[in-house]
Amino acid sequence: MVLADRLIRAVDWFVPVELQRSTATLWRARIFVISHVLGPFSAVAILGYLYRALPEHDWVFWILCAVGASFWTLPFALKLAGDLFRPALYSFCALICVSVFGSFFYGGVSSPFLPWFLTAQMLGFFYLSDRPRLVLGIIGVNLAIFAAAYLVNGAFPEQVKIHDLSTAGMISVCAATLYISMMAIYYAFVMVAQSALQLEIKKHLETAAKLRIAKHDAERANEAKAVFLAKMSHQLRTPLNAIIGYSEILLEDAEASGQTVDVMELRSINNAGRHLLSLVSDVLHMPKIDADDVEVKLHPVDLDHCLEEVSATCRNLIANNGNSFAVEKPAELGSIRTDEIRLRQILINLLGNAGKFTNNGKVVLRARRSGEGDREQLLISVRDTGIGIPADAIPSLFKNFNQVNANLYGGTGLGLAVSQKLAHLLDGEISVESRLNRGSEFTLRLPAVAAAAAAAA
């Protein structure tokens, strides 16, 4: 194996880098190098025999020697040329000319050079398969010259007796057979590889057909899910809104009459209804967001008024666990161009989580502006002193149905995923910093000037 590896590396030295990128071209180039290193030795054997058999060494003999020796230069020509076409074209033309030229002067149709005429044709189609007309044209021209020379001369020149060429003929046939056998072995490997490739293609086609069927079934299931969610949206929201509305009316009456017990029970009903409504909203919003079917309407939003409404909505929910709630912001935040409904949805989700995972602690809603001009951003953070998030759980925090301590706190695990995707629709992003048992801080970053992507959405 070590010797074989060394031989392969030696052969690959002649092969240009461009031909090594494909297995097919690499092996054709390797066969070209090997055949043109070993092949000329058969010519040496034939010409050596003729050197002893010929009474005189005329110009024909030395031309054959020169052309035969030129085959040894072709591996270097391959390395310099950078492609296989030009060296292969010269090799084919030289071999077929030598075989015809040598056959005419030394033995005619009984010449030891004649078997190389058939070998040359096979090599021509092997290396120049993409140009069959060129190969046939060169073969036809050489045959025409051979026939014309025979007709003009009336016979083949008898420089060597036919019986003296029998040994050279045997050498030539054996060398040509080895040459052709090497090509045949390569073709056998190609056919085996092609058969394996066809089987692999057949398997992939069958798999692709199964995937198409599965995709069609999934699309139908998705359509059915969309229809179901569209119907359930109305069926679930309407009674929940009614429960929340009536509980608020009863809560106001109970507070006005000083019924403390009823106030606590009604507040629990109201908080539970709001919590359930938020869970339903998350579930119903997620398919729309995943399908890019959420409508974003950009318009000027008064940030001070928006934050005041969000704070009023979440204050009771946060206080339900014995938490204090504070809002930190400048006297006037001004306005930005965004979708107020989506912004409020994000903030309510973040504040709801902060109140949910914090007991007898503190939740702070902080808002400020950062940067100038087109790079100006609105930063809204929700900081709590709750249970915190483990460091290994933060990377998957914004994935669907992911929730820390789901057994203790319940929920769908969709709130943060929905909020992050809504933030992306507004050309913003939510980041998180947290320490276990120390609390968390979620920060929403939004551009003060709506980006073109968000406007297009």
Q: Quickly list DSSP for 225-272.
A: HHHHHHHHHHHHHHHHHHHHHHHHHHHHHHHHHT-HHHHHHHHHHHHH
58 to 61, 160, 169, 296: CA distances (angstroms)? 6, 12, 21, 94
pLDDT in tens, 317-366: 788 788 999 999 888 888 888 888 788 888 988 988 888 888 899 999 99
The pLDDT of residue 275 = 62
The pLDDT of residue 177 = 78
Q: Which two tokens stand for residue 265?
A: 């029970």
Residue ranges and CATH numbers for the domains of the chain are 2-160 (no CATH), 295-456 (3.30.565.10)
Q: Which two tokens stand for residue 246?
A: 């009536």
Looking at per-residue pLDDT, the higher value among 165 and 416 belongs to 416
Q: How many CA atoms lie within 13 A of 374 on its CB side?
A: 2
Choose the weakest-confidence range: 79-83, 183-187, 350-354, 358-362.
183-187
CB atoms within 10 A of CB 450: 20
For the CA atoms of 246, 247, 252, 255, the dihedral, rounded to the nearest 10 degrees, stands at: 150
Alpha-carbon distance 166 to 44, whole Å? 16
Let me know how long the chain is. Answer: 457
The pLDDT of residue 283 = 63
- Looking at mean pLDDT, say which of 35-49, 152-166, 179-193, 270-284 comes out highest: 35-49
To which residue do tokens 């030129």 refer? Answer: 70
Bridging pattern class, strands 324-328 and 439-447: unpaired
pLDDT in tens, 147-170: 888 888 877 777 777 776 777 778
> Taking all residues of the chain, what is their mean pLDDT, rounded to a whole number?
80
SS3 content of the chain, % helix, strand, coil (to 5): 70, 10, 20
Distance of CA 355 to the CA centre of its chain: 43
pLDDT in tens, 373-389: 677 889 999 999 988 88
Alpha-carbon distance 293 to 288, whole Å? 5
* % the chain with pLDDT above 90: 8
Nearest Cα to 423, choosing from 384, 393, 378? 378
* % the chain with pLDDT above 70: 87
The pLDDT of residue 176 = 78
Mean pLDDT, residues 61-86 taken together: 87
Choose the weakest-confidence range: 23-32, 125-134, 225-234.
225-234
Q: Residue 456 — very low, low, confident or very high, per pLDDT cuts 50/70/90?
A: very low
**DSSP H stretches of helix in 291-378:** 303-319, 340-356
384 to 96, 99, 128, 398, 408: CA distances (angstroms)? 88, 92, 75, 18, 18
Q: Residue 400 — very low, low, confident or very high, per pLDDT cuts 50/70/90?
A: low
The pLDDT of residue 408 = 46
CB-CB contact of 244 with 274 (8 Å)? yes
The pLDDT of residue 326 = 92
- Whole-prediction pTM: 0.44
**Residue 335: phi, psi to the nearest 5?**
-135, 160
Q: Residue 288 — very low, low, confident or very high, per pLDDT cuts 50/70/90?
A: low
Residue 32 makes CB contacts below 8 A (sequence gap 6+) with 74, 75, 78, 84, 87, 88, 91, 127
Alpha-carbon distance 116 to 124, whole Å? 12
Looking at per-residue pLDDT, the higher value among 270 and 34 belongs to 34
Looking at per-residue pLDDT, the higher value among 131 and 450 belongs to 131
The pLDDT of residue 430 = 92
Residue 63 makes CB contacts below 8 A (sequence gap 6+) with 101
Residue 284 makes CB contacts below 8 A (sequence gap 6+) with 229, 232, 233, 236
Rounded (5°) CA angle 118-119-120: 90
Bridging pattern class, strands 377-384 and 362-370: antiparallel
Q: Residue 367 — very low, low, confident or very high, per pLDDT cuts 50/70/90?
A: very high
Alpha-carbon distance 260 to 254, whole Å? 7
Q: Residue 61 — very low, low, confident or very high, per pLDDT cuts 50/70/90?
A: confident
CB-CB contact of 291 with 323 (8 Å)? no
